[in-house]
Structure 1
Amino acid sequence: MLGKLEQPEIEALLSRQITGRLGCHANGTTYIVPVNYVYKNGVIYAHSGPGKKIEMMRQNPEVCFEVDEIKNIFSWKSVIAWGKFEEITEIGEQEQTMQALIHRIMPLVEQPSGHPSHGITESEYDLGDKIDLIVYKIIIDKTTGRFEHN
């Protein structure tokens, strides 16, 4: 049976997942990339180093975000959200976002000291000067969700 997810089910799926796919478009090019995230109150929070997706979102902040939960080919749920990219520049909000991301990701990390590119280290000195984390949010303005189960 195919069906439509209701808003509470959409919220639950966005809250439950940790990795989604971010779609952005600029200068005639569409780019889709997986990102780790935290969802809260209609906002997706994430971080990145400098690169293609950040450049594209700065050019065109209108983005699309997709998450799914797949048990098998005939039992799955999927949500697509549309929203607007905003860089987080206020230090307090950056710190809160990074703390939320680290708390969400840590239970899935086997060796915490090995992920300085995600701001996860045993010591802040492990980060060095080379990492330029960009903390951002996607403010969602529209969602849709579908499911299939037998």
Structure 2
Amino acid sequence: MLLILCGVLILHVVILILLIVSTAASAWSVTGKGSTDLWYTCVSNDDSHHCKPASSEDWIQAVQALMILSVLFCFCSLVAFLYQLFRLMKGGRFFFTSIFQILASVFVMCGAIIYTVMSPNAQFGYAYVLAWVAFPLCLASALIYIVLRKKE
């Protein structure tokens, strides 16, 4: 049982790291001369590198908000898991933790879908890919928490 709990905990931490990196990294879309992320648009010339804030369009602000919410809900889910691990009665299920993970999964999926739809001609970078990798892992983690029971 300890091995399963350690595995679930490691999976959860990996998902949280993926979400943080995909939210903060500067490679949601990449071109030959620069990159664009949720926060900045950077252009590289031969001798200089210039960054300006991302556009203030509604869709990019929605993606920013959804990615931040996914990180927050994943972190709250981790805290809830650790709390329930010590306070949940024997035989109890981790439903509260699972609900937070499902919400985090939905938020990251919605953010990635909005970015995909609003950037149809983009060459997507590694941060975008990490967001899509985090989505199924987060959903799988939520399903594991639904099935998982606390044993002594």
Specify if TM > 0.5.
no
As a proportion of its length, which structure holds more helix? 2
Larger radius of gyration: 2
As a proportion of its length, which structure holds more strand? 1
TM-score with structure 1 setting the length: 0.23
